[in-house]
């Protein structure tokens, strides 16, 4: 395949380039800011099979619009999207196949399924989420941490408003899931979901040792989505884990 990588100069972009090359794909770097003579998404020419986006909210919005206009599938792992980017991705998915995920790791997607099961089985237990990332990560808490909290909340029939981020004071309100973020060093990503009862505690933890795991998942998603019908897909669809 010929893959356009939006945000190719970032840490994830570097890993994506390596994985794409190792699988025999050609890649073209795209800078959403069109800085330093690098092609912008609007100026992208030539046959492109899939666009992989790990950039910014503005970069994702531009990529989604371009994919819709040119009939090219999109794989995006950008988090902290603003309303315009969310709308652009949803609109694009009505015309082209889109895989959108907060995390492309197979282990994290299994963890999401385990969290849903545990939240349903242990209905009386409190739930907290904690994540650790490198000190240069721009968003806090991570999109993955929020996705884990939403998975637990959804399993209990709660809505997204149950999530409380930051350091709480006083008692934890009922039907609230706390999400805490730690930053330091070059931690690739650690997420723990705590289910805390009166007499025991269960911890479900995922640790990423190398960004390559996310890049491999994203390229796998790009290979999977190529040739699919229009729609908004998740990494669980790619892994065949929907319904887990």
Which of the residues 25, 100, 133, 206 is marked catalytic? 133
Among the options 14, 137, 164, 226, which is catalytic? 137
24: which DSSP letter? T
Distance CA 3, CA 10 (A): 16
Q: CA 165, CA 167: separation in Å to the nearest integer?
A: 7
| 137 assigned to active site | yes
Beta strands at 163-165 and 201-207: parallel, antiparallel or unpaired: unpaired
Helices 11-22, 212-225: crossing angle, 10 deg rounding: 60
For residue 128, give both structure tokens: 């907290």
Q: Which residue in this structure is represented by tokens 């299994």?
A: 110
* Alpha carbon distance 209, 67 (integer Å): 32
DSSP 8-state secondary structure symbol assigned to residue 49: S
> Do 70 and 97 meet the contact criterion of CB atoms below 8 Å apart?
no
171-174, long-range: CB < 8 A, 24+ apart: 172/126
Tell me the three state secondary structure of residue 199. coil
Q: Give start and end residues of each alpha helix (H) in the chain.
A: 11-22, 57-70, 83-92, 106-121, 143-155, 212-225, 235-239
> How far apart, in whole angstroms, are the C-alpha atoms of residue 59 and residue 4?
13
Just list the catalytic residues.
Answer: 133, 137
């Amino acid at each position: 395949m010929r893959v356009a990588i939006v945000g190719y100069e970032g840490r994830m972009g570097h890993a994506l380039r390596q994985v794409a090359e190792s699988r025999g794909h050609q890649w073209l770097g795209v800078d959403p800011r069109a800085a330093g003579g690098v092609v912008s998404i609007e100026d992208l020419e030539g046959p492109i099979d899939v666009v992989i986006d790990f950039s910014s909210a503005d970069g994702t919005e531009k990529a989604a619009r371009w994919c819709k206009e040119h009939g090219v599938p999109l794989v995006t792992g950008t988090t902290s999207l603003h309303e315009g980017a969310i709308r652009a991705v949803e609109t694009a998915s009505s015309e082209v196949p889109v895989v959108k995920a907060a995390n492309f790791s197979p282990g994290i997607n299994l963890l999401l399924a385990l969290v849903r099961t545990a939240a349903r089985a242990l209905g009386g237990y409190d739930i907290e989420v904690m994540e650790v990332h490198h000190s240069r990560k721009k968003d806090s808490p991570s999109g993955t941490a929020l996705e884990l909290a939403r998975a637990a909340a959804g399993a209990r029939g709660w809505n997204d408003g149950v999530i409380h981020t930051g350091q709480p004071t006083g008692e934890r309100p009922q039907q609230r899931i706390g999400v805490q973020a730690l930053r330091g060093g070059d931690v690739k990503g650690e997420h723990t979901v705590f289910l805390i009862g009166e007499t025991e505690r269960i911890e479900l933890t995922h640790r990423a040792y190398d960004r390559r795991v996310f890049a491999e998942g994203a390229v796998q998603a790009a290979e999977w989505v190529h040739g699919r019908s229009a729609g908004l897909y998740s990494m669980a669809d790619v892994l065949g884990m929907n319904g887990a």
